[in-house]
Structure formats: C-alpha cells, structure tokens
Amino acid sequence: MEQRLDLTKASPDGYKAMLGVHSYVQNSGLDLGLLELIKIRVSQINGCAFCIAMHVPLGRKHGVSEDQMHLLPAWREAPIYSPETRAALAWAEALTHLTGGDVSDVVYADIRQHFSEKEVADLSFAIAEINAWNRLMICTRTPPQLGGASA
C-alpha cells in the first residue's frame, strides 16, 4: 500500500499542533511504560500498523516486558498486569470504543481508585492523542517503520 499523503509536508502547522499534545502527554508525569502500553493497545484496537510498530520498541525502552506486550490483547485474563495498569487499559478501551456514546461509571470509578483527577485527565489526553495519531496514519496510509526488517 502506498502512502497517500505526508502530513508533515501537507500541513506542517497541524502536525506541529499534534506534536504539542504529544509533548504535553510525555511530560505529564505519567509512567512512560504505562503510556506505551496504552498506545499499543489503542493502536491494536484501531488497527494502526504504523503506531504499533513505533510504540512496541518504545515500550521496551520504557520497561514494558515482552510478556506484557504479547499478552496485551488478552490483558483481562493475563495475571501479569497491576490493578493500576488494568484500570488504565480499561479506561483506554472505553475511551476508544465509546460504546453507547458514554464511558461507564464502573470504569470511571475503577480508574479513580488508582489515579488522581489530574492523572485521569492526562491519561485521557494520552488516549485522545493516540486515537488521533491512529486515524491520521491510517487515512494517509503511512507505512510502518520496521527498523530495516523487510516484509
């Protein structure tokens, strides 16, 4: 599949604005490994090869284990995730799917047991950011960067 559009060239100011959100999220104080797990999971849900290929190595860099990455699609059944990580993943999935146009009170209550109001807000910005990047990379057909590996 050939890339349709290069956002950095077509709309440099729009791309720069997205990088501003990214910079805020990365410097919000949230655990970078947790952020990478969220970004990988949301990208799996949305089917964004570019973002999955980008965030798996970043996950490794920030301490996410191979088991955590491999079991991510089945995180509810895998005992290797902490209660905090489970709450964050549930929040990420709820904000990505928006089933029925809302996020359940149960999911919100769970995330608030583990994260402050500011942390929930920052997690929400992180989830919105990766959902936006997924949609941008998918609609432009931006191919994944595979570190020299050929398909």
DSSP count for the chain of H helices, then E strands: 8, 0
Give pTM, 2 decimals. 0.93
What would the pLDDT profile of 18-55 be if each residue is shown by its tens digit?
999 999 999 999 999 999 999 999 999 999 999 999 99
Separation of CA 9 from chain center: 24
d(CA 135, CA 107): 24
Cβ-Cβ contacts under 8 Å for 124 (sequence gap 6 or more): 91, 95
Domains of the chain: 7-139 (1.20.1290.10)
Tokens of 75: 């995180």
What would the pLDDT profile of 72-126 be if each residue is shown by its tens digit?
999 999 999 999 999 999 999 999 998 788 899 999 999 999 999 999 999 999 9
